[in-house]
């Protein structure tokens, strides 16, 4: 039985439909003091697949509660699907005294899961932090289909070096174009991002900036700004996890991004493509 976290209801429903398996209807109740009690009164069966993007602290606690609730209700095999794994960006202690947040989160999830499935975690190495088997799904190839089919000499651009392999995956799935990457620096005190462009010739070419996450939109919009004096054509952004927090949409539009293509790992009304088929394959594999 699929059990949705409150932030992953559409994806869990899509997965249940894709795999022809039942979907539980949890109750997400809140006590007056702000604590949640996520319950699964209708749960039955031995196997539970809890689908919960940990996009917030509340969503993370809710995932732990749902894992516990299905065990209480009789499940003896629990898979946790984290379409988006929060805290994965803090995969090391960057300064003395900092936590390895990804490890702390992974250990907590492992206490209630027999298996974990992740979709494009920010750093692949975070999979090793779990104390149970982990499957990692790469959904980047799905980002090609929603892009216009008539891009002119497209350049798939990673805003930093680590995003170039994602850009390559999208380019390969699109079937045309080149890849390149910029050098990115972020001031962690101010949050400001600066991007050093490559010498790619983009004149007259359409550009797709590809990243794993678009959160505040600063990274992609800085990359796009860096292209402005180069006479490029249309500009798109493509990401697996479209967090799009705060004024990200406006920032991207103001920078000249025509459209942001994203999957449904983070629930939004305008997701372009679902990771449900890829997750279904991983769960059945």
Contact residues toward ligand R5P (CB under 6 A) are 159, 193, 211-219
Nearer to ligand R5P, 240 or 280 (CB): 240
Nearer to ligand R5P, 33 or 95 (CB): 95
| Residue 58 to residue 78: CA distance in whole angstroms | 20
* Closest distance of CB 85 from ligand R5P, Å: 13
Residue with tokens 């900092």: 98
* Closest distance of CB 123 from ligand R5P, Å: 9
Please compute, for residue 35, the number of CA atoms within 13 A of its CA located in the half-sphere on the CB side: 3
Q: Which member of 184, 205, 241, 251 is catalytic?
A: 184
Nearer to ligand R5P, 164 or 206 (CB): 164
User: H or E segment at 76?
Assistant: none
User: H or E segment at 2?
Assistant: strand 2-4
8 A C-beta contact, residue 211 and residue 184: no
Nearer to ligand R5P, 100 or 132 (CB): 100
- Does the active-site annotation cover 184? yes
User: H or E segment at 48?
Assistant: strand 47-51
Residue with tokens 């090609």: 144
Residue 256 CB contacts under 8 Å (≥ 6 apart), including other chains: 224, 228, 235
Residue 18 CB contacts under 8 Å (≥ 6 apart), including other chains: 276, 277, 279, 280
Nearer to ligand R5P, 5 or 159 (CB): 159
* Closest distance of CB 80 from ligand R5P, Å: 22
8 A C-beta contact, residue 115 and residue 132: yes
* Closest distance of CB 274 from ligand R5P, Å: 22
Which residues participate in catalysis according to the annotation? 184
């Amino acid at each position: 039985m699929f059990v949705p976290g409150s932030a992953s209801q559409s994806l869990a429903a899509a997965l249940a439909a894709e795999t022809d398996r039942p979907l539980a209807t949890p109750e997400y109740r809140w006590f007056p003091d702000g604590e949640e009690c996520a319950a699964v009164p209708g749960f039955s069966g031995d196997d539970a697949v809890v689908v919960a993007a940990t996009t917030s602290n509340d969503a993370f606690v809710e995932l732990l509660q749902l894992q516990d609730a299905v065990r209480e209700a009789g499940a003896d095999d629990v898979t946790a699907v984290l379409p988006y794994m929060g805290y994965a960006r803090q995969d090391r202690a960057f300064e003395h005294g900092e936590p390895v947040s990804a490890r702390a989160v992974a250990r907590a999830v492992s206490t209630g899961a027999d298996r974990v499935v992740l979709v494009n975690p920010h750093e692949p190495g975070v999979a090793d932090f779990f104390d149970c088997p982990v499957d990692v799904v790469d959904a980047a190839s799905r980002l090609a289909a929603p892009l216009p089919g008539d891009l002119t000499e497209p350049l798939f651009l990673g805003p930093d070096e680590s995003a170039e392999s994602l850009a390559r995956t999208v380019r390969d799935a699109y079937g045309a174009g080149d890849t390149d990457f910029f050098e990115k620096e972020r001031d962690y005190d101010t949050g400001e991002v600066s991007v050093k462009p490559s010498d790619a010739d983009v004149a007259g070419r359409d550009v797709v900036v590809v990243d794993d996450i678009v959160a505040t939109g600063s990274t992609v919009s800085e990359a796009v700004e860096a292209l402005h004096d180069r006479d490029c054509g249309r500009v798109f952004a493509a990401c697996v996890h479209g967090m799009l927090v705060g004024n990200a949409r406006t920032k991207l539009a103001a920078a000249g991004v025509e459209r942001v293509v994203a999957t449904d790992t983070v629930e939004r009304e305008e997701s372009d493509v679902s990771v449900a088929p890829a997750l279904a394959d991983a769960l059945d594999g």
